[in-house]
Amino acid sequence: MLIMAAGAIGNIVEVLELGKTTEARENAAAAIFSLSMIDDFKVAIGGHAGAIVALVGLLIEGTTTGKRDAAMALSNLALYRANKANIVAGGAVQLLIELLMDDKAGITDDALGVLALLLSCPQGLEDIKKSRALVPLLIDLLRFGSAKGKENSITLLLGLSKDGGEEVTRRLLIRSLAADGSPKARRKADALLRLLNRCCSQSHNPV
């Protein structure tokens, strides 16, 4: 079955890229999402030059279901390091941030998950840092987002603060999350607080 699926990847990607209807392309994205759960297929799918570009395109053109399938497929593919740069090069970062600002899109948690993965890619970090809208969005999501959304928001804030971001000093919100979030979210919140405290100490006590 896996051999048959591997042989079908090229055909599925072709439909994803060139399908005549949005429905056909979205069905292909759903298939890619399922296949991308398998490690070997992450490499194979990423090896098709147009696959990632087509998935990014669905973030713009797809229905809510299509956008979610595309985002989840990108999330799976981003677990393979070599795919991350291609996802960033395809323009995914700005589109994902725009989806965070669009309540009607309905894929906030999925978009956050992809951004959190792209943070570890140098090109991804650079694109994420360029957005002036992201940090205020993340702060709002810390207050009103889902448990998973809060966790990924902390991951992004940690990454930005480690890179020298100054906007991530909203400690009360982080403390609130540490009290109410999941154990994993509390650990990340505590790590962010410690990091921010060190940054503040260094700025007030320069060498």
Residue pLDDT, tens place only, 45-70: 999 989 999 999 999 999 999 999 99
Q: Is the CB of residue 79 less than 8 Å from the CB of residue 113?
A: no
Domain ranges of the chain: 1-103, 132-207
15 vs 51: CA distance, rounded Å: 10
As a whole number of angstroms, the distance between CA 115 and CA 147 comes to 16
pLDDT for position 162: 72
pLDDT at 131 over 70: yes
Structure tokens, 2: 């896996």
Dihedral, 15, 2, 30, 182 alpha carbons, nearest 10 = -150
Mapping DSSP to helix (H, G, I), strand (E, B) and coil, where does residue 78 land? coil
Residues in the chain: 207
Per-residue pLDDT averaged across 64-77, rounded? 97
pTM, to two decimals: 0.81
Q: Does the domain spanning 1-103 belong to CATH 1.25.10.10?
A: yes
Q: What is the pLDDT of residue 103?
A: 82
Q: Which of 117, 121, 195 is nearest to 158 (CA)?
A: 195
Residues 6 or more apart in contact with residue 115 via CB below 8 angstroms: 93, 96, 97, 124, 128, 152, 156
